[in-house]
Amino acid sequence: MRSPAKLGSSAVSLLRAATESIMKTSVTGPVRVRFAPSPTGFLHVGGARTAIYNELLRENLGGSFILRIEDTDAQRSDAAMIEQICSGLRWIGVQWDEGPFLQSDGLERHQQAAQQLLEQGKAFRCFRTSEEIEAARSQAQAKGETLRYRDFFAPPSADEEAQRLAAKEPFVVRFRCSDDSLHFSDLVRGEVEFPAGSLDDFVILRSDGSPTYHLSVVCDDVEMRVTHVIRGDDHLSNTPKHVDLFRALGAPVPVFVHLPLILGSDKKRLSKRTGATSVEEFRDQGFLPQALYNALGLLGWSPGGDREIMSRKEMVELFTVERINSSAAIFDRDKLSWLNAQYMSSLSLEEVAKYASPFLAPLGLDGLEGESRQRLMAALELHRSRAKTLEELGPMLVPYFQEELVYVVESCQKFLSQESLPGHLEALAARFAALEEFSPEALEQELRQLSEAVEVKAGVLIHPTRMALTASKKGPSLFELVATMGREATGRHLANFVGFLGREGSS
RNA sequence: GGCGCGUUCGUCUAGGGGUCCAGGACGCCGGCCUCUCACGCCGGUAACACGGGUUCGAAUCCCGUACGCGCUACCA
């Protein structure tokens, strides 16, 4: 057992026996969890995964999932950015119960908390400038020492404080941190302990009176009665500060779940340099939300079996925080592509069509009705297993509706060198046109009969016909293709292609 | 520098002292299917970071080292 902490080995095996058949967790609900992104203008995939684990825990144990926007830095936030995060979450399928709340709305409450700490002597006013502290710090560092504020600067005396206050000197409020060792339980890391003296008196109120992040998160987590703090690994080192604050505020300390970071292919923190970083980008590149959810959910968490394709519902059933990995993971786009292809093939046709629609619109394939609509759906069915993304799917459907295709001479060399081919294709077109039933079976029979009559292999007719209809060497089974294309377009494309062969062949 | 966290195939992972000369998936390579492509199916490639312990036995437990990442702000 990775956590909680170290148990005796007999206790471990007992626990294992109990959890073997059914995935159990030591965590009991109902829980109150929260996802607290900063409004950066997009939903980062790392954030999306954090949100997913938040929701999995809530779904699994019951309780509430609170969405809170960490907009302490006023510059960074506006309504559009907040909406962006919400729509990103909605798209990927994460549902929250409360919010979105804005952290900035708690400003007064945060300031009150600082005031309370001040009155209780758990915080003090610091009149030193950051330059002054910085200078002392670099001086100490030059001597190879680490400077802690609290070892170098004494808080001002009551007299001095009153004097400076009267003189309206600017000050920050610093939290008087504990000098004991601080430990907390983290469901991913186990018991984490920070030795005595590893904290310093940190700022909780800036000189302009605004609360810093540390104060705000703790106040809000207290206010919202958060039981489990699920967040990125990068906050692990900040956690002792938070624990100290929770205690000072007289509030229960929540359980922590620190998620390992998602890395780019360069093993660095996922950034723009290595490709897409936001869920919106993946959406725009033609990935299905189900696939992204699946990929993200299984990045850093595994139910233990061989499962690779799992729906949100299945994850909810099997999810336990204890099985979240503790090491950082590189996001693998190839695997996402594979997953996406799996979902494109297995989802209902209607659903794929729904998600494909934004990619079809620019190609003029939207708003089709009646027979055209039916043709589009049939074509979609024929091509869905051939595309890895919705973006790739669009161009494959165009030939079914385009008036005239553009053939590339280089790809048609083989056909151009066959003198008798145009005649054969005309014969084939005539046979197709005369067909009563435009079905794959009938079409195939017709083509094979012709190939026998003119004494060529079926492939000699099949390949140029595919080229004629799609301007491509690749594609679905020819007879399915022709049947879906329909009598009219088939005849038109075939005639055009014969014309093309005539023009290019003679020149 | 200090403190914290991490390290199993290229990538995601299974693994919890013997059943592991390490299993699955993606990728890659080869084959089958076949009118092409894709899907699917079959096969192959490839890893316990290093060094010490503990133990009859270590991927698994302990200690170091290396490397990576995070924090060390009046950013979040």
The residue lying closest to nucleotide B71, measuring its CA against C1', is: A237
Q: What is the pLDDT of residues A258-309, one digit of tens each?
A: 999 998 888 877 777 667 789 999 999 999 999 999 999 999 999 987 889 9
Looking at strand B, which nucleotides approach a protein CB closer than 7 A? 1-8, 10-17, 23-27, 35-40, 68-76
C-alpha A301 chain-centroid distance: 14
In angstroms, the CA A325 to CA A303 distance is 11
Tokens 């920070």 belong to A194
Q: What is the pLDDT of residues A93-107, one digit of tens each?
A: 999 999 899 999 999
**Residue A4, pLDDT above cutoff 70:** no
Q: Which residues contact A394 (CB under 8 A, 6 or more apart)?
A: A356, A359, A360, A362, A363, A365
Distance A132 CA to B31 C1' (A): 73
Q: Provide the pLDDT for residue A76.
A: 54
Specify the DSSP element, H or E, that contains A117.
helix A107-119
Nucleotide nearest A458, CA–C1', reads: B35
Count other C-beta atoms under 10 Å from residue A14's C-beta: 12
Of the candidate ranges A148-157, A185-194, A475-484, the one whose mean pLDDT is the lowest:
A148-157
In angstroms, the CA A233 to CA A8 distance is 28
Q: Which residues contact A428 (CB under 8 A, 6 or more apart)?
A: A446, A447, A450, A461, A465, A494
Q: Which residues contact A290 (CB under 8 A, 6 or more apart)?
A: A93, A311, A312, A343, A347
Residue by residue, what is the 3-state secondary structure of A461-495?
HHHHHHHHHHCCCCCCCHHHHHHHHCHHHHHHHHH
Kindly write down the DSSP assignment for every residue of A320-331, as one continuous string.
-GGGB-SS-EE-
Distance A267 CA to B6 C1' (A): 13
Q: What percent of chain A has pLDDT over 90?
A: 75
Q: At what angle do helices A45-61 and A289-297 cross, to 10 degrees?
A: 80
**Residue A310, pLDDT above cutoff 90:** yes
Query: If we measure between CA atoms, which residue out of A263, A221, A213 comes closest to residue A238?
Result: A213
**Residue A153, pLDDT above cutoff 90:** no
Q: Provide the pLDDT for residue A215.
A: 96
H-only helix segments in A125-238: 130-142, 149-152, 158-166, 213-223
Specify the DSSP element, H or E, that contains A32.
strand A31-35
Mean pLDDT, range A118-131, rounded to an integer: 92
Tokens 């990619």 belong to A359
Name the percent of chain A in helix, strand, coil, to the closest 5.
55, 10, 35
Mean pLDDT, range A75-86, rounded to an integer: 80
Q: Comparing A441 with A273, which gets the higher pLDDT?
A: A441
**Residue A21, pLDDT above cutoff 60:** no
What band does A24 get if pLDDT is binned at 50, 70 and 90? low
Nucleotide nearest A473, CA–C1', reads: B36
Q: Provide the pLDDT for residue A134.
A: 84
Specify the DSSP element, H or E, that contains A124.
strand A123-126
Q: Could you give the 3-state DSSP secondary structure of residue A300? A: coil
Distance A477 CA to B38 C1' (A): 11
Q: What is the pLDDT of residues A31-45, one digit of tens each?
A: 999 999 988 878 999
Distance A145 CA to B2 C1' (A): 9
Nucleotide nearest A216, CA–C1', reads: B76
Q: Provide the pLDDT for residue A149.
A: 87
The residue lying closest to nucleotide B4, measuring its CA against C1', is: A237
Q: Provide the pLDDT for residue A74.
A: 56
**Residue A167, pLDDT above cutoff 90:** yes
Nucleotide nearest A388, CA–C1', reads: B38
Sheet with A172-175, edge to edge strand ranges? A123-126, A172-175, A203-205
Q: Give me the interface pTM, i.e. the ipTM.
A: 0.94
In angstroms, the CA A259 to CA A325 distance is 8
**Residue A256, pLDDT above cutoff 90:** yes
**Residue A499, pLDDT above cutoff 60:** yes
Q: Provide the pLDDT for residue A3.
A: 29
Q: What percent of chain A has pLDDT over 70?
A: 93
Q: At what angle do helices A213-223 and A107-119 cross, to 10 degrees?
A: 100
What band does A68 get if pLDDT is binned at 50, 70 and 90? very high
Tokens 């003198």 belong to A419
Q: Is A429 exposed, middle or buried (0-12, 13-18, 19+ CB in 10 A)?
A: buried
Nucleotide nearest A241, CA–C1', reads: B71
In angstroms, the CA A227 to CA A64 distance is 10
Specify the DSSP element, H or E, that contains A67.
strand A63-69
Distance A268 CA to B47 C1' (A): 21
Distance A5 CA to B54 C1' (A): 21
Distances A216 to A65, A246, A401 between C-alpha atoms, Å: 19, 11, 57
A272 is catalytic: yes
Count other C-beta atoms under 10 Å from residue A466's C-beta: 19
What band does A73 get if pLDDT is binned at 50, 70 and 90? low
Q: What is the pLDDT of residues A353-364, one digit of tens each?
A: 999 999 999 999
Q: Which residues pair with A65 in a beta bridge?
A: A33
Strands in A180-319 per DSSP E = 182-186, 190-194, 203-205, 228-232, 255-259, 262-263
Distance A198 CA to B25 C1' (A): 43
Whether the bond into A4 is cis, omega within 30 of 0:
yes
**Residue A133, pLDDT above cutoff 60:** yes
Q: Determine which one of A6, A272, A414, A473 is catalytic.
A: A272
φ/ψ of A229, rounded to 5, equals: -95, 105
Sheet with A98-102, edge to edge strand ranges? A98-102, A63-69, A31-35, A228-232, A255-259, A182-186, A190-194
Q: What is the mean pLDDT of chain A?
A: 89
Furthest CA-CA distance within chain A: 112
Whether the bond into A100 is cis, omega within 30 of 0:
yes
Q: Provide the pLDDT for residue A15.
A: 33
Q: Provide the pLDDT for residue A207.
A: 93
